[in-house]
Each structure stands twice: as structure tokens, then as C-alpha cells.
Structure 1
Amino acid sequence: MKMKLLQEFNYLDTYNAITGVVIVFLSHVFGKYWYLFMVFLALNSIDYVTGWLKSKILKKINSNAGLRGVIKKLGYWIMILVAFIASFFFIQIGAVLGIDLHITTALGYFVLASLSINEMRSIVENLVEAGYDVPKILTKGLEVADNIINQNEE
């Protein structure tokens, strides 16, 4: 009994150590709000799966379309990277010029928010096209959020 209890603590310690290392790594790479990037990654994955599900239900599975979807997701991550690099660049230029440009950090987060809403809307569209009954409040709520985030684009 005592040996089994020790093994369970060993597994728990190992799990905690691995989880801690992963969180420290993510915090180092993505910063304080690393979990927002992980939510976006989860949305990417869910969108891919619901797109595949839709294609399967509609009997329109196409490996080229799936590859295009993966490449599109990679493009989204590149956009986010460019937005945060631009923000970092502006902050550094501002420091050289003696101007506080830390507000440009918002650029990266607005891009992340906009692309996240886009992924959410795509997930809902996939579910609707696959025949699921999606509540109107969800589709309209995402549309409103998209309009608010992107209101200055037009």
C-alpha cells in the first residue's frame, strides 16, 4: 500500500514538473498572456477538425483543401508574428527617439483577437454547413465582436 502511494506521488510530481516546465517555456516565448496564444492554437485545431467533419458529412473530402487549410493556419501565425515583431520594432525605435510607443503592443493583440474571432466564426460556419443547429445568439454575437474589433478597418 505504501509503495503504491509513493508511486502515485511520483507520477504527480513528474506531471507537475512537466507542466511547470511547459508553462515556463510558453511564458518565456509568448509572454505573460501565453494562454491567449494557446486558445488560438486550440481554435485552429477545432476549426480544422470541424472543417474535416463538414467535408466528411457532405462527402466532399479533398486532401488539397485540407492542405490549403493548414497553410492558411500557418499564414495566420505568421501574421501574428509580424504584428508582434512590428510592435517590438516600434517600441525600440521609440526608445531611440525618446518616444513611448508601448501602445503599439496592442497591434499584436488586436491581430490575435481578430484572427481568433475569424476562427470562431469559421467553426460555427462549419457546424452550420454540417447540419448542426447552432444558436443564433452565437452567430450574431461573433458577428458583433468581429465588427467591434475590425470597425476601424473600413
Structure 2
Amino acid sequence: MLLLQTFFIGIISVLLSVFMFLFGGWSYLLSVLVAAMLVDYISGIIASGINGELSSSYGFKRIGRKGLIFAVIAVANFADQLSGSGSTMIRDVVIIFYLINELISIIENAGRAGVPIPQALTDKIKLLKDKTNSNEKE
């Protein structure tokens, strides 16, 4: 029993060390992003189910994309470390960028599911998407 307990403590220690190395520790922003990712994923499943578009391959693609978001956050953390300033500014900006995308996706999922969305919010989301699309074309 003691050997098994020691083994699990060792595994948890290694995983936490890898996490700290990759992401520079746990922050409130990271917590909010993870929560938004979960709500986005669940709302996407609900919207797809309501519209008859539910498929496991689509769900796996969304999980894969969310995994890549964490890879980009890790790269941003490494960029912070390389700057030598001791700040987490680059990592935090990247997290905020993805958090905004997740929030927009949640609102879009709600709209797809038939939940009424205020016109002012719909207009702002369209404006953000148009700006993003025009920046990508340049």
C-alpha cells in the first residue's frame, strides 16, 4: 500500500513539475480559460445536437484544437522566460486572446442552439470577426 501511494505521489510530482515548466504555474487567467473551454465544448455539443450535426469526429477536432491552444500558451511562456524580465505578459496576452475567442464561440453556439442573442452583442462579434479576417488577408 505504501509503495503504491509513493508511486502515485511521484507521478503527481512529475506531472506538476512538467506543468510548471510548460506554463509557468497556475494563474487565475488559466483557470478562466479552462472553464471557458469546457463551457464552449459543452455548448458546441448541445448546439450540434439540436441542429442534428453531432459527430464524434467534429468533437475530436475541437479537443485537438484546444490542445494546440495549450501548446501555444507554453510557447508564450517560454518567450516570457527568454525575455529575462520575470514577467508573464506574453503568456497572459495569449491567454486573453484565446479566452476572447472561447467567449465568442460560446455566444455563437448559443445562437446556433436558438438562444436569442442581443443585437448589440451580435454586431460587436461580427465587427471583431471582420477585423480579424481583414488582418489575416494583409
- What's the TM-score once normalised by structure 2's chain length? 0.69
Q: Does 1:67 align with 2:60?
A: yes
CA distance in 2, matches of 1:102, 1:83: 13
Aligned to 2:91, the other structure's residue is in SS state helix
2:4 maps to none
Structure with the greater relative contact order (CA < 8 A, sep ≥ 6): 1 or 2?
2
1:44 maps to 37
Equivalent residues of 1:118, 1:146 under 8 A apart:
no
What is the one-letter code of the residue matched to 2:39? I
Q: Does 1:76 align with 2:69?
A: yes
RMSD: 3.0
Could you report, residue by residue, the CA deviation over 1:67-88 in whole angstroms, capped at 9, with x for unpaired residues?
0000000011111111011110
Could you report, residue by residue, the CA deviation over 1:79-109 in whole angstroms, capped at 9, with x for unpaired residues?
1111011110121xxxxxxxxx456x32111
Between structure 1 and structure 2, the one with the greater Rg is 1
Gaps of 5+ in 2: 1-15
1:4 maps to none
1:51-62 superposed matches below 5 A: 51-62=44-55
Q: Does 1:110 align with 2:93?
A: yes
Equivalent residues of 2:24, 2:77 under 8 A apart:
no
Paired residues, number: 115
Paired-residue identity, %: 30
CA distance in 2, matches of 1:31, 1:84: 6
CA distance in 2, matches of 1:37, 1:143: 26
Could you report, residue by residue, the CA deviation over 1:2-46 in whole angstroms, capped at 9, with x for unpaired residues?
xxxxxxxxxxxxxxxxxxxxxxx8xx9466871110000000000
Task: Please list every run of at least 4 consecutive aligned residues from structure 1 whose deviation after the TM superposition is greater than 2 angstroms.
Answer: 28-33, 136-148
- What's the TM-score once normalised by structure 1's chain length? 0.63
What is the one-letter code of the residue matched to 1:57? I
Q: Does 1:138 align with 2:121?
A: yes
